[in-house]
Structure 1
């Protein structure tokens, strides 16, 4: 059971995934800071002089009842930025790499399989036996069978 777990952990894709999660978390912090400090002020400015920006308060005097539409818009912008970066920096290059590999395999010479190689060897040996006049599957004759003393 532990060997199976070790094999799972040591696979390249698990390590790549863990690196991607760490980098994604760090990048999300950058995008969150960008939208909080640069985009949010513009969204709040659209809301006018209201202290809540694009939000509104359901119960006056209770700050926990503020519906912040600007925060939802900010989260959407965060998502779009992160998704665009992941797509253009990870997905597109990986698809191009896979296409190159597919084209390399298709363009490369076909490697014969083991069965094809063995069949070719058998046919060559049979042709060689026919050329020398021997039977392809004959047993070697002994002296007694050949009639020599």
Structure 2
């Protein structure tokens, strides 16, 4: 049971998905903080604090840009990303590298098409060498066979 759980966790796509969800959540917090700290006060400042464009464009007093909150959220995001990388991604990449070093992938077997073409080539070579006494043009005999030409008898 624990081996199955370990195999499930060690799959790359599960870890990638989990890291993506955590980073996405942390980045959502950064965007939300930027909106609340800079964009909303800017809109209030431009509209005079009413939410509608002011005719005289005189900003209302008391509108604050809370940049410290945004910086705090940004630092939290960077720390979250660093912890994920150094405690999850980096060790799993090292483990995967060790596994790859330990076993060599087997050589790929030739495809069925390559096997078939090799057999045809060998058959044509054998036929050409047998039909011409071990000498002659291999490709000429194949063309002769396809065109159904018969060699002329020797004179």
The two structures have a TM-score, normalised by structure 2, of: 0.36
The two structures have a TM-score, normalised by structure 1, of: 0.37
